[in-house]
Amino acid sequence: MVERLRDQVEKEERDQRILRRVIERGPIGIGRIAEETDIPEHKVRYSLRMLENDGLVEPTPSGAVPADDIDERIAAMNDGIDDLVDRLEAVADIF
């Protein structure tokens, strides 16, 4: 159970690194993100697809760009992360 959670957290960390790069440098392509982050292109491609599905980035012919309302979306994400931390702490207290 902990290993699955660890794997998911690592994936989310990767997604956030890629999202930060898109916010800072967009429009930016898969190859450039991979080069600048040392994340393999296939993982960058997957993460960008997930970020697009979540409405955080948008594809353009020049590369990925952040969604127009990215600040609000990031605030909502941070609230959700805070809630998850609280829930994990409660689970840890059970044992």
Residue closest to 62 by CA, chosen among 32, 42, 20: 32
Q: How far apart are CA 7 and CA 19, in angstroms?
A: 18
Structure confidence at residue 50 (pLDDT): 96
Structural class in CATH, domain 2-68:
mainly alpha
pTM of the model: 0.85
Residue 57 sits at the vertex; the CA angle it makes with 41 and 31, to the nearest 5 degrees, is: 20
Residues 41-69 have pLDDT tens digits of 999 999 999 999 999 999 999 999 999 99
Distance CA 31, CA 42 (A): 10
| Per-domain boundaries in the chain | 2-68
Neighbours of 54 (CB within 10 A): 13
